[in-house]
Amino acid sequence: MYTNSRREYVLNEIASYGSQAAAAEALGTSPQVVSRWNCGESQPSGVVARTCQLARFIRELGYELPPNMEF
C-alpha cells in the first residue's frame, strides 16, 4: 500500500546524498528510477523505504554507502 509519508521519507533520504546518481548507487537502483520518484512519476515500494532506513542507520554508524566492493 502506498502512503505519502513513505514517499516523503524516501525523497528525504535521496536528498541527503550529493546527487541522484550517488543516491541511486547507495540504494542499488538506477538514477532514472530515482528521477521518477523525485518527479512523482512512480512511487517507491515498501522495500525501498526499508532500504532507506537501513542506509541511514549504517551511515549514522560511520560507514560510507555504497561500500567499496572488490571481486
DSSP type of residue 37: H
pLDDT of 3 over the 80 cut: no
Let me know: does 49 contact 3? Beta carbons within 8 Å: no
Domains and CATH numbers, the chain: 4-60 (1.10.260)
The Cα–Cα gap between 57 and 70 comes to 23
Q: Each residue of 32-57: pLDDT tens digit?
A: 999 999 998 998 999 999 988 888 89
